[in-house]
C-alpha cells in the first residue's frame, strides 16, 4: 500500500492538468465578468441619454447597471460558483426583459430595435453561456477519501449531475439565441399613417387635459428640438416616435393652425400650431400618454395640448 504522503505528491501530469484547468477557468471568468461589465456600461449610457426619464423603466435601468457592475466585479475577483451562477441568471433575465419589451412592452414602455439593444442582447447570450459553463465546470481532480463520508457521497452525486446540467445550459443558450434572432427578425410597429392618406386630428381628455389625438385616439406629441419648418427626428428616433404624415383635417371643435412640412425622406409631416406631430410607440391603447415630458432620443417630448 502506498503511503498517503507519497500518494499525495503531484506528478508532472497532475500539474499540467491543473494549469490547463486554471487557465480555462480564468478565461471563462474574464469573458463572463467582462461581458457583464460591458452590458452594464451599455445600459448606463442608455440611462444617461434618456431612459432615466421613462417611468419605472428608468429605475430598472439604474438597478441593472448597478447589478451588472457589481456581479461583473465579483466574478472577475473571486472564484465563486455562486457569483457565476448569479451572473448567468442575471444575464438571462436582462435578455428576457429586453425581448419582452421588444415584443409586447414592459411597464408601459415599448422597445424598438436599435444597434445598442442588439449588441447588448448578443452580449447577454454569450455572457450566459460563459458563466453557465464556469458554474458547471468540474472541480479539479480530487483524491478519493477513505472511509467514504456522507459529505463525500453528496459531492460525488453533484459531480455526476454536472454533465446533464451542462447539456441543459447549452440547450438554454441555444434557445435564448434563437428567440433573440426571431424577435429581431419580426416586423416592428407599422407607421401611423401613409404619406398620401388623410389624417384626422381630434380632441380627447387624458388625465383631465385636452390633448390632440389621431383618428384612433392615440396621443400626438411634439419634440422640443424641432423647428416650425424642420423635423429633427429620424432613424431610431422615428422608430420610437413615428411621424404623423399625410394631409391633415380636423374634427369639429378643434382649432389651431394646421400645416405640413416636407421631411428629408420625402413625406409630408403634419404640423399643429407650428409643431411637427408624432405618436409614441409605447402608447399601447387610446387614452395613454406615456411619452409626455420624457427626455428621449435627443430632447424632451410633450403631449400636444389642443386648442378648442
pLDDT tens figures, 101-159: 888 888 878 888 888 888 999 999 999 999 998 888 766 544 444 455 554 444 445 44
Q: 256 with 294, same domain?
A: yes
Q: 108 with 180, same domain?
A: yes
Is residue 257 in some structural domain?
Answer: yes
Find the mean pLDDT for residues 276-305: 91
Is residue 216 in some structural domain?
Answer: yes
Side by side, the strands of the sheet bearing 209-213 are 209-213, 198-206, 247-250
- For residue 71, cis peptide bond before it (omega within 30 degrees of 0): no
Find the mean pLDDT for residues 252-272: 89
Q: What ranges make up the beta strands (E) of 111-187?
A: none
Q: 38 with 174, same domain?
A: yes
* Residue 141 confidence (pLDDT): 47
Q: 27 with 170, same domain?
A: yes
**What is the count of structural domains for the chain?**
2
Q: 204 with 177, same domain?
A: no
Tell me the three state secondary structure of residue 247.
strand
- Give yes or no for a contact between 308 and 256, defined as CB atoms under 8 angstroms apart: yes
Other CB atoms within 10 Å distance of the CB of residue 86? 18
Classify residue 92 by burial, with Cβ atoms within 10 Å: 0-12, 13-18, 19+. Answer: buried
Is residue 261 in some structural domain?
Answer: yes
- The whole-angstrom separation of Cα 105 and Cα 93 is 15
Question: Binning pLDDT at 50, 70 and 90, where does residue 233 land?
Answer: very high
Is residue 6 in some structural domain?
Answer: no
Q: 224 with 260, same domain?
A: yes
- The whole-angstrom separation of Cα 216 and Cα 192 is 10
Tell me which of 130, 153, 185 is where a domain ends. Answer: 185
Give, in degrees to the nearest 5, the angle at Cα 282 between 57 and 194.
155
Is residue 35 in some structural domain?
Answer: yes
Q: Could you tell me which of 197, 204, 239, 234 has the C-alpha nearest to residue 220?
A: 204
- With a CB cutoff of 8 Å and minimum separation 6, the contacts of 40 are 64, 65, 66, 67, 68, 69, 72
Is residue 265 in some structural domain?
Answer: yes
* Residue 142 confidence (pLDDT): 46
* Residue 139 confidence (pLDDT): 62
Find the mean pLDDT for residues 242-269: 87
**CA max distance for the chain:** 102
Give, as one character, the DSSP assignment of residue 78: -
Dig out the grid coordinates for 99 from the structure.
425581448
* Residue pointed to by grid coordinates 429605475: 59
Q: 205 with 134, same domain?
A: no
Q: 83 with 126, same domain?
A: yes
Q: 69 with 173, same domain?
A: yes
Percent of the chain topping pLDDT 90: 40
Is residue 1 in some structural domain?
Answer: no
Task: State pLDDT tens for residues 34-92.
Answer: 999 999 999 999 888 778 888 888 899 999 999 999 999 999 999 888 999 999 999 99
Find the mean pLDDT for residues 272-295: 91
Q: 77 with 206, same domain?
A: no
Q: Could you tell me which of 272, 268, 261 has the C-alpha nearest to residue 213?
A: 272
Give, in degrees to the nearest 5, the angle at Cα 64 between 60 and 69.
155
User: How much is the pTM?
Assistant: 0.69
How distant, in Å, are the alpha carbons of 69, 105, 202, 273 from that of 32?
12, 28, 52, 52
Is residue 152 in some structural domain?
Answer: no
Other CB atoms within 10 Å distance of the CB of residue 294? 23
Q: 214 with 245, same domain?
A: yes
For all residues of the chain together, what is the average pLDDT? 81
Reply yes or no on whether the pLDDT at 189 is more than 50.
no
Q: Sort strands 209-213 and 198-206 into parallel, antiparallel or unpaired.
A: antiparallel
Q: 34 with 177, same domain?
A: yes
Question: Binning pLDDT at 50, 70 and 90, where does residue 190 land?
Answer: very low
Domain that holds residue 82: 11-142+161-185
Amino acid at each position: 500500500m502506498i503511503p498517503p504522503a507519497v500518494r499525495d505528491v503531484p506528478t508532472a501530469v497532475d500539474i499540467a492538468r491543473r494549469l490547463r484547468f486554471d487557465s480555462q477557468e480564468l478565461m471563462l471568468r474574464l469573458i463572463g465578468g467582462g461581458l457583464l461589465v460591458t452590458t452594464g456600461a451599455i445600459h448606463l449610457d442608455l440611462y444617461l441619454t434618456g431612459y432615466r426619464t421613462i417611468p419605472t423603466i428608468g429605475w430598472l435601468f439604474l438597478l441593472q447597471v448597478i447589478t451588472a457592475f457589481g456581479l461583473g466585479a465579483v466574478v472577475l475577483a473571486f472564484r465563486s460558483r455562486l457569483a457565476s451562477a448569479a451572473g448567468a441568471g442575471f444575464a438571462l433575465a436582462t435578455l428576457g426583459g429586453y425581448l419582452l419589451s421588444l415584443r409586447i412592452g414592459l411597464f408601459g414602455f415599448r422597445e424598438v430595435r436599435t444597434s445598442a439593444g442588439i449588441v447588448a442582447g448578443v452580449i447577454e447570450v454569450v455572457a450566459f453561456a460563459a458563466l453557465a459553463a464556469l458554474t458547471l465546470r468540474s472541480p479539479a481532480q480530487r483524491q478519493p477519501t477513505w472511509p467514504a463520508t456522507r459529505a463525500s457521497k453528496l459531492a460525488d452525486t453533484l459531480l455526476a449531475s454536472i454533465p446533464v446540467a451542462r447539456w441543459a445550459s447549452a440547450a438554454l443558450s441555444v434557445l435564448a439565441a434563437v428567440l433573440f434572432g426571431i424577435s429581431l427578425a419580426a416586423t416592428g410597429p407599422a407607421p401611423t399613417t401613409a404619406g398620401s392618406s388623410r389624417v384626422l386630428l381630434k380632441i380627447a381628455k387624458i388625465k383631465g387635459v385636452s390633448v390632440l389625438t389621431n383618428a384612433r385616439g392615440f396621443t400626438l406629441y411634439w419634440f422640443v428640438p424641432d423647428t416650425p419648418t424642420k423635423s429633427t427626428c429620424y432613424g431610431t428616433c422615428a422608430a420610437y416616435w413615428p411621424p404623423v404624415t399625410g394631409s391633415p383635417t380636423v374634427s369639429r371643435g378643434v382649432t389651431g393652425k394646421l400645416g405640413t412640412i416636407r421631411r428629408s425622406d420625402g413625406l409630408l409631416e403634419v404640423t399643429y400650431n407650428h409643431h411637427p406631430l408624432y405618436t409614441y410607440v409605447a402608447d399601447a391603447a387610446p387614452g395613454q400618454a406615456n411619452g409626455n415630458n420624457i427626455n428621449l432620443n435627443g430632447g424632451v417630448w410633450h403631449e400636444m395640448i389642443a386648442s378648442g
